[in-house]
Amino acid sequence: MRTLIRPTAFVDSPFGHDGKVAQLAGGLTWFSAVELLSVEGNKRVAAELVPVAEVEQRLDEQTHLQWQALTAKRAPLQLGERTVRLDQPQVMGVLNVTPDSFSDGGRFADADSAATAGADMAAEGAAIIDVGGESTRPGAKPVWEGDETERAVPVIRQLAGGGAAVSIDTRKSEVMTAALAAGARLVNDVSALTFDPRSAEVVAAAGVPVILMHHLGDPETMQDAPRYDDVLVEVYEWLEERIAAAEAAGIDRSMILVDPGFGFGKTVAHNLELMNGLALFHALGCPIVVGASRKRTIGALSGEAPADQRLGGSIAFALKAAEQGAQIVRAHDVFATVQALKVWRGLRDQALTPRV
């Protein structure tokens, strides 16, 4: 039996609530209660709602570490010469240079047009441009690393040369190595460093941040009736194990970000449960990345709307993630997502302005 802590009962501001609220991961969100989740095996067996004012007297050694992680500030990402603050939600622009991505496959005819699109995302407010040369959509087949490198590296070189902060979205160590040499300064691995046994070594040697994403199975089969006893608990504990494995491989914990893997081996119900319980993952002590943009769940909830008609749902998920303290939101529609988060930020700033 173990206990997990999920922040809840979010409030607009801490003013007038001394000792009754806590700041979530050093960001713009404050909460006044937590759920203490009793976990046995792979699932929750009980939940107790506890006010923040009473939490510390309920903590043992294990849950005290979770509490410290929940309330600690997240250091900014240093991506080459670019600093990305994590005390507020940031947008990561999705730039797929593939012929078969679920949303925008085949959109760019060459590296120049892709790099121009990435530069436009940066101009629209994306803090990071995430370049991927292999589709990991449901049913996708693996791509030879030579082809993947040939697709991604010229785009990365142009974007990094223009001053953008660039990440490489790949599962393969050879692609990581080439992308980092071309100027990428962050690795986004949908396999959480499990696909390629050399990938952890490459990341550790480069000293760059890495995103560890939860998945169930591989892209070809991950949506074949995925099952969990309790998706929130199982994803949390799986990420906990992958963080430990990354640290054992020589990657500093301060360089690790986590992604619950929205849509990667999950049903619609699983995805919605993860989004509702997202704040739990702050107890891992790592910045949270959420990639729900244009995902199939949105279509399933809106009359099977195609991928290019899922902007409203993508914004809804981005705001839900921001509300729960997520530090990075991946987005295809950068301008609209940045605008939505600016309005959200304006609401938070007003709430956090002391009243005279």
Report the predicted TM-score, pTM, of the whole model to 2 decimal places. 0.94
Q: What is the separation of C-alpha 72 from the centre of its chain, rounded to a whole number of angstroms? A: 18
Catalytically annotated residue among 6, 295, 296, 348? 295
| Burial label, 115 (beta-carbon count in 10 A; 0-12, 13-18, 19+) | buried
Active-site residue, 330 included: yes
| Cα–Cα distance for residue pair 228/266, rounded to 1 Å | 9
Neighbours of 40 (CB within 10 A): 11
| Cα–Cα distance for residue pair 301/312, rounded to 1 Å | 11
Q: Which residues contact 288 (CB under 8 A, 6 or more apart)?
A: 257, 258, 259, 260, 278, 281, 282, 321, 325, 326, 327, 328
What is the structure's pLDDT at 356?
65
Q: Which residues contact 116 (CB under 8 A, 6 or more apart)?
A: none
Active-site residue, 295 included: yes
What is the structure's pLDDT at 102?
46
**What's the token pair of residue 318?**
């981005």
At 171, is the secondary structure helix, strand, or coil?
coil
- Separation in Å, CA 137 to CA 26, 65, 144, 150: 33, 36, 16, 20
What is the structure's pLDDT at 140?
66
Catalytically annotated residue among 6, 74, 294, 330? 330
- Note down pLDDT in tens along the chain; length 356 residues: 899 999 999 999 999 999 999 999 999 999 999 999 999 999 999 999 999 999 999 999 889 999 999 999 999 999 999 999 999 999 999 999 987 554 555 567 689 999 999 999 999 999 999 999 987 766 667 788 899 999 999 999 999 999 999 999 999 999 999 999 999 999 999 999 999 999 999 999 999 999 999 998 766 665 667 899 999 999 999 999 999 999 999 999 999 999 999 999 999 999 999 999 999 999 999 999 999 999 999 999 999 999 999 999 999 999 999 999 999 999 999 999 999 999 999 999 999 998 76
Q: What is the separation of C-alpha 195 from the centre of its chain, rounded to a whole number of angstroms? A: 19
Contact 314, 331 (CB under 8 A): yes
Question: What domains are defined for the chain?
Answer: 2-71 (no CATH), 77-351 (3.20.20.20)
At 76, is the secondary structure helix, strand, or coil?
coil
Residues 296-315 as b/e (b if ≥16 CB within 10 A, e otherwise) read bbbbeeeeebebeebbebbb
Residue with tokens 């070809």: 220
